[in-house]
Structure 1
Amino acid sequence: MIQKSYWWLTIGMVLFIFSNGNWTIPIATWIAPVFLLAFLRRSSNPRSLILLFVLIIIATKFMLAGIIPDDLGGLTYILTFYYAVIWFFPYCIHSIISHRIPGFKSTLVLPVAGVTAEYLNTIFFGSWSSLAYTQYGDLALMQICSITGIWGISFLILWFASVIDWCWSRQNIWDSMRSRAWIYILTLFLVLFYGGIRLMFCTGVSTTENIVSFTPTEAIDQFILNMKNAGFSSSRKMAKENRTELNNYLEQAYADIFQKMESITNEKTSLVLWPEATISVLEEKESAIIEKGKKFAHENNTFLIMAYYLLPKLNSSQPEENKLCLINSDGEIEFEYLKAYPVPGSPHKAGDKVIPFAETSMGTIGSVICYDMDFTPFINQAGRKKIDIMLVPAWDWEAINPLHAQMAVFRCIENGFSMVRQTGEGLSIASDPAGRVLSSIDHFTSKEYSMVSSVPNKRCSTIYALTGDLFAWLCISVFIVFILLVYRKKHND
């Protein structure tokens, strides 16, 4: 007969598969850790930890299939193992040291270890895999990000499981809940109450800006078809072997893109936004395409963000650049920006990791590109610079849709800005500073690839904008203190 503890493991792992990644069910994120802790408590030996780790590795492969692209070769398996380690880490630490921490304080081991793993991951690879993102849509809970960042939500989820397990392990569960669990219940109540209050008062202002964002799908498809007919699969390769013909194809694409812009722009349009790397631009032709943008912006009395992929001059040793340019309504360049964080495996040059901004009639405008939004310490610059509207050219793929766009909404709540994120293949979305969706279009389910968003032009102040990831660092500090206390106790014994 299978031991009872293995039933808890089975239930926990089934729920774990639905706790993050491809098939997220938000409630499973809260409940799965409860059963996994129950298994570890009843089978507290190294073999149980190894078994759990192996199962989490296998589950991670399915949970992140497609999210981690399969065409990365060995890197796909390395990243799968890496994220499995992140998810396993808090359970491992809890199993090893929580019983050495006296009283109710032991319930903090799991959440501080979990936040530590998530935050260290964010520094290097962005905030992918964070438990917080599984709770997208629960606006009242999400507002705690304006104080703690996403770390507050991850902490609450893991602390819930730890508190339940602590009570479960006592002889009288209900007495345990009455004596200590009220601390958690009160904390969660205050978090949700705060969220409700913030949703009431962070309502934006009556003044909004009409921002038109679009993906020129027909122009891009025709450009790709022309390249294929010429025997090329990428503009990078064609730029090296048949630059003249590539330029002819690009000129046709530019004409189609600007014609599309003319058709979707009117006198109410404050700004036009392209998606990430909308079209390739030859370095020697960059000034010409920017002049086209300046002329369009001035003639239509609107701001314009052009996002493109810059191909270096022939025989140049310089890498490609994933770039954007903000042009004001007077036809002048406000700023240029290179993508700060290239996706792993991308060949293009990384930017200087400084978020650009411009003081305009629409408020303070800032812009970053796609993957940059995943790095919470980096985007916190926008909060400190008091940016009102963040404009995000992006390009996703089907496996990360709509997750990647939803992740970006958390940055709005953290830093108090509104956002328009135009996505080439995925969910395009506009959000206010409280994370409320103002408009959205899914590339894969809609035949319309342009979006008009009425966006508040004033930010909502947040504590996170001032303190940044202080809560995460507090969790890391508590985690280190726990490790030192256990080491000292073991040494004294």
Structure 2
Amino acid sequence: MNSPLLPRGGRRPSFLLTGLLTGLSAVLLAFGTGLTPSWWCAWIAALPVLAVAARSRARTAFAAGTVAWLGGQTSMWGYYGDTLELPPPLVATLIVGTSVLFGLALAAFAAIAGRGRPVLATLAFCSSWVAVEFAVSLTMPHGAWWSMAYSQADALPVLQIVSLTGPWGVTFLLLGTQAALAVLPSAGRRAPLAAGAAAVLALVLGYGVVRLAGPAGAATGGPGTRVALLATDEPNDTVPVAGRAGRKLLARYLAELAKLEADVVVLPENTFAADRATLPLLAGPLSKLAAERHTTILLGLTLVDGEQRRNSALAFPADGSRPVRYDKRHLIPGVEADYTPGRADAVAFMPGSGGRWAIAICKDLDFPWLVRDYRRRGASAVFAPAWDFQGDEWIHGRMALVRGVESGMTVVRAPRAGILLAGDVYGRVLAQARTGPGFASAVLTLPGPAPATPYSVLGDWLGWAGLLLLPATLLAGLRGSRGGGGGADGSGQAVGSFDGGRAGLHLARDRAPRP
């Protein structure tokens, strides 16, 4: 069996073919990752460069993988540096550093595959990238923002696996499937590898289909709670409530709120700015309207207290009582550098919900463990004022929906400069509307509570397993000589191996044709 992408007879691909396949992966990675990924591109994006690595030396695989990932991430330079205002060293770490890590993952794959160990090669590659994504989520200030999993946010049968594994299961599946396909043509015993990969894929898709079609998945009715999301992008800035623009904007919001027939209304993040002296100008009218309409109103604003500025949310109860306050826990580095974060353990719930409806703000939903904590406290839904940037409205909204699938919670997210969005515990969109200069709104009936998911109980078990599996597969795959049951020729020659004494890679020459 030979790959249609590569020459017959076990020969290494030519320099030209290597370059073409590397470029193809770069293009597919650009479309399969990023701010508006195509779900099907993510399933084949790494396959061309993996096919090269399966028949190449480790150093060739390293170079091809580094270039492919770097090319696929080129469009993110402007977003990281200009939009998010991240410092250049951090941008370089995210893009160049991860490109090098992707190259190293390809080099490990090539070295182990060259020793006739296709299963270990596949496991090493997919576990390496799960380990990278998980480590980034633990060490960088952006949580699980950076993951291939979100490319599958609209592929609902695939997405259901996050209820078991978190986002790391999707990454493992995407890259594991492609690695198995790439190494399969040169595997000595193809049947076990093919059967294993097909079985894993079938189990994941079967689980997703059954979960979506089951009794709980088919239920769309809830307790009858009507929820509305309301926002305008004009002005697309935070305005002091005491100023002329602030008074005008508040009057516009009050007029729109009076038109809505809803039990709960969610407004965007940082809409107004107020301090102790000016807060009554905002709180008074909203509390009065909430009581008159018997509606709970959740609003995001900047609260100034002396030298401290907090990105906060106030929930005005339907009975006109004292509002509930929540301070955003996870701030955007650079953009929100002058804000003080809320306490790391801060939680808040919508008044009148009996602790069932959690409150978060925008970037808080980039952190799976924050949503899991709410789930463990008994919450079944999370309401989030938000504010998106130019171009990231799809990825940031779908990321929030993935949090709901992970922990079995309905997510209601109301941004400015984005998409008003609500999704159920299966990631299905319940309501959405794009914001603009005028007012946009979306209305839904809140689904009833769903059972807790395994992921909400077990946490990031697969992320930790990836960190442990990576060194285990590397040690097992690179130890000793080529396995006797390896390539089709049974030559027993090692094509590539790691040696820390030579820049981390040492390559042995082939002395026999490779499969």
TM-score by length of 1: 0.84
- d(CA) in 2 for partners of 1:19, 1:216: 31
Which one of the candidate residues 247, 251, 260 is aligned to 2:247?
251
**1:223-248 Cα shifts (integer Å, max 9, x gaps):** x7xxxxxxxxx86xxx8xxxxx9644
Matches within 5 A, 1:21-420: 21-22=34-35, 24-46=37-59, 49-50=62-63, 52-62=65-75, 64-70=76-82, 75-76=87-88, 78-86=90-98, 88-96=100-108, 98-99=112-113, 102=117, 104-123=119-138, 124=140, 125-170=142-187, 176=190, 178-200=191-213, 201-202=216-217, 203-218=219-234, 220=235, 247-264=243-260, 266=261, 269-312=262-305, 316-318=306-308, 320-333=309-322, 335-345=324-334, 346=336, 347-353=338-344, 354-358=346-350, 360-361=352-353, 364-420=356-412
Q: Check whether the contact 1:327–1:333 (CA below 8 A) recurs between aligned residues.
A: yes
Please give the secondary structure, in 2, of the residue aligned with 1:336: strand
Structure 1 pair 186/25, CA: closer, same or farther in 2 (3 Å)? Answer: same
Which one of the candidate residues 441, 446, 449 is aligned to 1:458?
449
**1:267-314 Cα shifts (integer Å, max 9, x gaps):** xx21111111112223422245223332222221121112111234xx
**1:50-92 Cα shifts (integer Å, max 9, x gaps):** 4542453344122x25532526667256325414433552441
Provide the aligned length of Structure 1 versus Structure 2: 458
Structure 1 pair 153/411, CA: closer, same or farther in 2 (3 Å)? Answer: same
Question: Which deviates the most, 7-16 or 88-97?
Answer: 88-97
Following superposition, the deviation at residue 486 of structure 1 comes to 6.6
**What is the Cα-based RMSD across aligned positions, in Å?**
2.8
1:20 corresponds to 2:33: yes
**1:163-200 Cα shifts (integer Å, max 9, x gaps):** 112212236xxx61x23211111111111111111112
Q: Check whether the contact 2:112–2:477 (CA below 8 A) recurs between aligned residues.
A: no
Please give the secondary structure, in 2, of the residue aligned with 1:340: coil
Structure 1 pair 488/52, CA: closer, same or farther in 2 (3 Å)? Answer: closer
Following superposition, the deviation at residue 413 of structure 1 comes to 0.6
Please give the secondary structure, in 1, of the residue aligned with 2:154: coil
Q: Check whether the contact 1:115–1:151 (CA below 8 A) recurs between aligned residues.
A: yes
Q: Check whether the contact 1:388–1:417 (CA below 8 A) recurs between aligned residues.
A: yes
Q: Which amino acid aligns with 1:307?
A: G
Q: Which amino acid aligns with 1:256?
A: R
- d(CA) in 2 for partners of 1:336, 1:136: 31
Q: Which amino acid aligns with 1:352?
A: R
Following superposition, the deviation at residue 106 of structure 1 comes to 2.7
Q: Check whether the contact 2:105–2:125 (CA below 8 A) recurs between aligned residues.
A: yes
Q: Check whether the contact 2:349–2:356 (CA below 8 A) recurs between aligned residues.
A: yes
| Equivalent in the alignment of 2:9 | none
Structure 1 pair 216/11, CA: closer, same or farther in 2 (3 Å)? Answer: closer
Q: Check whether the contact 1:309–1:321 (CA below 8 A) recurs between aligned residues.
A: yes
- d(CA) in 1 for partners of 2:382, 2:297: 14
| Equivalent in the alignment of 2:512 | none
Q: Check whether the contact 1:402–1:427 (CA below 8 A) recurs between aligned residues.
A: yes
Q: Check whether the contact 1:214–1:422 (CA below 8 A) recurs between aligned residues.
A: yes
- d(CA) in 2 for partners of 1:48, 1:196: 36
Q: Check whether the contact 2:26–2:71 (CA below 8 A) recurs between aligned residues.
A: no
- d(CA) in 2 for partners of 1:18, 1:216: 30
Percent identity of paired positions between Structure 1 and Structure 2: 23
| Equivalent in the alignment of 2:506 | none
Q: Check whether the contact 1:204–1:458 (CA below 8 A) recurs between aligned residues.
A: no
- d(CA) in 1 for partners of 2:80, 2:65: 22
Please give the secondary structure, in 2, of the residue aligned with 1:18: helix
Q: Check whether the contact 1:22–1:65 (CA below 8 A) recurs between aligned residues.
A: no
Which one of the candidate residues 406, 413, 425 is aligned to 1:433?
425
Q: Which amino acid aligns with 1:317?
A: E
Higher normalized contact order (CA 8 Å, seq sep 6+, divided by chain length): 2
- d(CA) in 2 for partners of 1:72, 1:205: 39
- d(CA) in 2 for partners of 1:336, 1:468: 28
Please give the secondary structure, in 2, of the residue aligned with 1:356: coil
- d(CA) in 2 for partners of 1:384, 1:139: 24
Q: Which amino acid aligns with 1:133?
A: Y
Please give the secondary structure, in 2, of the residue aligned with 1:42: coil
Indicate the structure with greater helix content.
Answer: 1
Please give the secondary structure, in 2, of the residue aligned with 1:433: coil
Unaligned runs of 5+ in 1: 225-233, 240-244
Following superposition, the deviation at residue 101 of structure 1 comes to 8.7
Unaligned runs of 5+ in 2: 1-13, 481-497, 500-515
- d(CA) in 2 for partners of 1:289, 1:74: 33
Please give the secondary structure, in 2, of the residue aligned with 1:61: coil
Following superposition, the deviation at residue 440 of structure 1 comes to 0.3
Q: Check whether the contact 1:308–1:323 (CA below 8 A) recurs between aligned residues.
A: yes
Q: Check whether the contact 1:66–1:399 (CA below 8 A) recurs between aligned residues.
A: no
Please give the secondary structure, in 1, of the residue aligned with 2:32: coil
- d(CA) in 1 for partners of 2:420, 2:150: 17
Q: Which amino acid aligns with 1:86?
A: T
Please give the secondary structure, in 2, of the residue aligned with 1:31: coil
Structure 1 pair 421/358, CA: closer, same or farther in 2 (3 Å)? Answer: closer
Q: Check whether the contact 1:373–1:411 (CA below 8 A) recurs between aligned residues.
A: yes
| Equivalent in the alignment of 2:486 | none
Matches within 5 A, 1:448-487: 448-483=439-474, 485=476
TM-score by length of 2: 0.81
| Equivalent in the alignment of 2:492 | none
- d(CA) in 1 for partners of 2:350, 2:82: 39
Q: Check whether the contact 1:101–1:482 (CA below 8 A) recurs between aligned residues.
A: no
Q: Check whether the contact 1:5–1:43 (CA below 8 A) recurs between aligned residues.
A: no
| Equivalent in the alignment of 1:5 | 18
